[in-house]
Structure 1
Amino acid sequence: QQAEMTAANAGDIANLGFVVGSKCVAVIDTGGTYAVGRALHQAIRRVTALPVCYVINTHVHPDHVFGNQAFAVEEAQFVGHVRLADSMRRRGPNYLGALQRDLGTAAEGTTLVLPGLSVAGIERIDLGGRRLVLRAWRTAHTDTDLTVLDEKSGTLWLGDLLFVGHIPVVDGSLRGFIAVSGELKHVAAKRAIPGHGRAIAWPAAIIPQEQYLGRLLADLRNALKARTPILVAVETIPCDREDQWQLVDRFHKRNVTAAYAELEWEQ
């Protein structure tokens, strides 16, 4: 869903899923709390008794990784971007503190479970007649972004490298996010699953995101050329196609702030 984690939604806001092969199961993201991860694990058990062999995290944000603990009962390998483990170590304590503060009892049992298997480029894993292609990307939405392509169904799991409805969020690099968005369009897939929101046809799904990020880049470069102070830029740079996006008030100004700091070194 297009929302921040709250006690009301119990941290269940991200797209989670699993792929079943003839030998085992791969989980793709685990949710924002132990309870969400446990519900996902129970859903898998209603479908298959095959073991979970891989738990794949698409990036560091807590709504995608804090359900990992629910899969500790499985002899699974936890998988992520080559920088994910370090990022979880650095950010995890603050994320966990905020989770406990904001969600209260809904956060009970939630702990950090770091990946043991890292992906630096492209890796392929076989679930038994079902192969997944894992790809680590340069810094974009975050510096830990990983995609998963299910070759059999043509489904591309993008995590938060794709925003549909929810305004794109820059927690890594604006220039990198634009570059990666362009590269992603060349990935052959039938459908895309964003980090939040519905599955959607690919690659047309990424066009609105590219437009938003491209306009933000152009506006910021113009502001920096005019020596516009950051506080003025934050208040005056508009959100491109604002009526198409949700959570604009929460994230657009944050994007301007983050990207301003990145781009001012170009000048």
Structure 2
Amino acid sequence: MKCRNRALACLFLITCLVFLHCFAQAETLPSPLPVTEVAEGVFVFVAPYELATPGNADAIGNAGFVIGDEAVAVIDTGGSQQAGLALLAAIRARTGKPIRYVIDTHVHPDHLLGNAAFRLPGAVIVGHANLPEALAARAETYLSATRRLIGEAAFAGTEALGPTLLVKDRLALDLGGRRLLLEAWPTAHTNTDLTVMDEKTGTWFLGDLLFAGHIPALDGSLRGWLAVIDVLRARPAARVVPGHGPAAMPWPEGAEAMLRYLQRLRDDVRTMIAQGRTLRQTAEQAAQSERGNWRLFDDFNARNATSAYHELEWE
């Protein structure tokens, strides 16, 4: 009887501690990010087309979450702990189920520096097999740049937390009555691109393999990205969620504008290399016909052209 009473007392104490932790967490969470339910149990935060600033706390990449019968999976977490906490607040406004998985679609800071907000009991960070090495190589630069761009107040508590569960090819995650299929892709937007398919609703999170409105940002391989997009476009999906753009888009039509830009960039850079143009001339002139179609064009296009030039000059 004494052992039974002791066990019950321990269970009661643990329950109280969990309650107090959740209460304290709820008390300190910021205002929740606005999210849209794009399918049953699938929610997306639509990020603004902006660069990182103190006002947006680097919450400038789309993020989302999927609610299963037993647990929740988060897909990208924003670019700071503050952004991640606002996403966590949005989740807690809709469900009290435990967060089982935090999935990083790629290495860029606006998509994963919010991981620091999800250091929660039982939550596992998941990412591409290349992500730990890529993040380790860039973490110091990412953190320093983010601190400078968003300021100390918005940056407070931000860390570069990488995944412990890695995806080399495919991995299925169970949320209870709901399966997510994760796939790792060859080098495209980056060398760490991961997609997430909610099989229940046919909702496919493509991360930054898909941009809409916001000009694509090339940090991997232009030829690789075009090849991956061809494979993705051959797959069916009820809807896709871009890394930057609206909450959801039809598929494969949703890829048409980005595909046109990447092909124009490739063709212009190839032509300029053949003409003997310099790297500087190519960066200034390539893909300028696309300028009116994209937000933040002047912030990214020259860098894209520079990356493409280095990749294509020795074809």
TM-score normalized by the length of structure 2: 0.82
CA offsets per residue over residues 7-54 of structure 1, 9 Å max, x none?
121211111111111111110001111011111112212212211111
1:132 to 2:180 alignment = yes
* Residue from 172, 181, 184 that aligns with 2:229: 181
Instruction: Give runs of aligned pairs for residues 8-87 of structure 1, distance below 5 A.
Output: 8-87=55-134
Tell me which amino acid in the other structure corresponds to 2:212: V
Q: Look up the match of 1:92.
A: 139
**Contact residue 81 and residue 115 of structure 2 kept, 8 A:** yes
Q: Look up the match of 2:201.
A: 153
Runs of 4+ in 1 over 6 A off after TM superposition: none
Question: Using the alignment, how far apart are the partners of 2:241 and 2:121 within structure 1?
Answer: 25
Question: Using the alignment, how far apart are the partners of 1:246 and 1:223 within structure 2?
Answer: 24
| Fraction of identical pairs, as percent | 48
**Contact residue 182 and residue 195 of structure 2 kept, 8 A:** yes
Q: Look up the match of 1:109.
A: 157
SS at the partner of 1:54?
A: strand
Tell me which amino acid in the other structure corresponds to 1:264: E
Q: Look up the match of 2:212.
A: 164
Structure 2, unpaired ranges of 5+: 1-47
Question: Using the alignment, how far apart are the partners of 1:207 and 1:107 within structure 2?
Answer: 36
**Contact residue 140 and residue 174 of structure 1 kept, 8 A:** yes
Question: Using the alignment, how far apart are the partners of 2:169 and 2:179 within structure 1?
Answer: 16
Q: Look up the match of 1:203.
A: 252
1:122 to 2:170 alignment = yes
Question: Using the alignment, how far apart are the partners of 2:207 and 2:297 within structure 1?
Answer: 19
Cα drift, residue 187 of structure 1: 2.1
Structure 1, unpaired ranges of 5+: none
Supply the RMSD in Å over aligned alpha carbons.
1.1
Q: How many residues align?
A: 266
For the pair shown, the structure with the greater C-alpha radius of gyration is 2
Q: 1:9 to 1:178 in 2, by over 3 A?
A: same
Question: Using the alignment, how far apart are the partners of 2:238 and 2:290 within structure 1?
Answer: 26
Question: Using the alignment, how far apart are the partners of 1:239 and 1:138 within structure 2?
Answer: 28
SS at the partner of 1:139?
A: coil
Question: Using the alignment, how far apart are the partners of 2:287 and 2:67 within structure 1?
Answer: 44
**Contact residue 11 and residue 36 of structure 1 kept, 8 A:** yes
Q: Look up the match of 2:280.
A: 231
Cα drift, residue 231 of structure 1: 1.2
CA offsets per residue over residues 132-165 of structure 1, 9 Å max, x none?
1101111111110100011111111011100000
Q: Look up the match of 2:189.
A: 141
Q: Look up the match of 1:219.
A: 268
**Contact residue 216 and residue 240 of structure 1 kept, 8 A:** no
**Contact residue 239 and residue 248 of structure 1 kept, 8 A:** no
TM-score normalized by the length of structure 1: 0.97
Q: Look up the match of 1:249.
A: 298
Tell me which amino acid in the other structure corresponds to 1:66: L
Cα drift, residue 242 of structure 1: 2.1
